[in-house]
Amino acid sequence: MRLLASLALQNLGRRKARSLLLIAAVAVASGVVFTGATLMRSIDRSMAVGFTRLGADMMVVPEGALTNITAALLTVEPTDLVLDQDLFARAAITSVNRAAPQKIARVEHSGIGSHHDSVDLIGFEPALDFTVQPWLVEKLNRDLRPGDVILGAGRTAPLGSELLIFGKAHTVYGRLGKTGVGTHERGVFMSFATLEALAGSVHGPNGPPAALQQGKVSGFLVELAPGATPLQARFAILSTVKGVRVVTGDSTMSGIRQGLAALLDGILALMVLMFASTALMVSVLFSAIVTERRGELGLLKAVGARRGQIVGMMVIEAMIATGAGGALGVVLGILVMRLYERSLVYYLETIGVPFVWLDGPHMVAVAMLAVVMASIIGALGSLYPAWRASRRDPYDLVRGEG
């Protein structure tokens, strides 16, 4: 009914300050809920990516190696120390499901990027790998061959194009998705054979990096056997193979997963509280508004408005205000997220979360959900007071007592 809708609008306009306060309060709540939900969904997606793509629960590196244990376990870290490639094959540890060996060499003057950029050349064993290939988002329509390289998400070169590494021609075979892990995103990946073939061309200060030697690797990414605990695996590894360090605990995905779950629970609880308190506030406010406007409601009823129309008018009024608040909150939420995007993503990465933003369509869906939820809060908050008033005799309402 157009008339009732325009009455509702006029009523909002009559008390501008109060309407604005209501809109602001709902905007804050919806902003928090929208931001929370977006972050939650983003983290959720990051985790989903983590579950399907990052299998590494532990990393096994040479004993003296310095490792940046804060990053997600996608690649080993560049170091001069090496391990034997067949370490795990020989040891046969039952609590380890698979152990993917990796070689990594941080090199300069490779011909990739600008002259002084250092580049991580990362070798993996295609048959054992579970942290590189699952990330392939584009690739040539054929199997990986010697001489092929795969680029991290941070590097741009067309598929199939030629890439010179220390003067040797390689073919860009594929590109990896965004992981949020620096080494992974900037890395140039290739099979062991391809990497080892570069040994003669790489001139480090002390000759070619040790990791390029045949049979030697920089470390292993370990996936636990189903049911095995990190502690069991750690003991098993340390007691069977010598000269290694096991990176595990909170720095691994398992710890991160638990931490994230707690974070998500916290956000969820906050959102539920926010929703409830806003609904209560709107309800209290609308009780007052209905009381104040009893006379008008009585008049409308006296001249023939049905109960449904009276309730409808108040509910529409509330929904317009809270819906506008919801939309404003979404806009504010987007601004805040844009403003803090860098520090947020950086922070999450330092605690080991490979952050992947929610994509556009999902973000729009969450935004619409926030606006709809805000409108629902308005509807719920105004429904009861309006319904109660609509039950009264018009004469009582018009006289304005009780």
Partner 1 sequence: MLSCRALRKDYVTERGPVAAVAGVDLDVAAGRYAAIIGRSGSGKSSLMAMIGGLSRPSAGQVLVEGTDIWSLSDNALSAFRNRRIGYVFQFASLLPTLRLIDNVALPGMLGRTGATKPLYARAAALLGQMGLGDHLDAYPGEVSAGEQRRAVIARALINEPALILADEPTSDLDEQTEIEIMDELLAVNCERGTTLILVTHNLALAEQAEQIVHIAHGTIVA
Residues that bind partner 1 (CB under 8 A): 1, 3, 7, 10-11, 14, 296, 299-309, 393-396, 398
Spatial CA neighbour of 125 closest among 198, 32, 202, 221: 221
Give me the least distance between CB of 296 and partner 1, in Å please: 6
What count of residues does the chain have? 402
Which residue's CB is nearer to partner 1, number 302 or number 339? Answer: 302
Which residue's CB is nearer to partner 1, number 97 or number 309? Answer: 309
Which residue's CB is nearer to partner 1, number 1 or number 372? Answer: 1
E-strand ranges in 46-167 read: 58-62, 83-84, 96-107, 119-124, 136-139, 148-151, 162-165
Q: How far apart are CA 178 and CA 191, in angstroms?
A: 20
Which residue's CB is nearer to partner 1, number 109 or number 307? Answer: 307
Strand partners, 162: 171
- What residue type is 119 in one-letter code? V
CA dihedral 215, 117, 174, 133 (to 10 degrees): 50
In which region does residue 295 sit, left (phi positive, over 0), alpha (psi from -120 to 50) or beta (all else)? alpha
Which residue's CB is nearer to partner 1, number 333 or number 394? Answer: 394
Q: How far apart are CA 19 and CA 318, in angstroms?
A: 9
Which residue's CB is nearer to partner 1, number 64 or number 308? Answer: 308
Give me the least distance between CB of 291 and partner 1, in Å please: 17
Burial class (CB in 10 A: 0-12, 13-18, 19+), 111: middle
Give me the least distance between CB of 332 and partner 1, in Å please: 30
Q: Are 219 and 61 in contact (CB under 8 A)?
A: yes
Give me the least distance between CB of 314 and partner 1, in Å please: 14
Give me the least distance between CB of 390 and partner 1, in Å please: 9
Measured CA to CA in angstroms, residue 271 lies from 29, 39, 76, 352 at distances of 8, 12, 38, 24
Which residue's CB is nearer to partner 1, number 3 or number 365? Answer: 3
In this structure, what token pair is assigned to residue 119?
């580049």
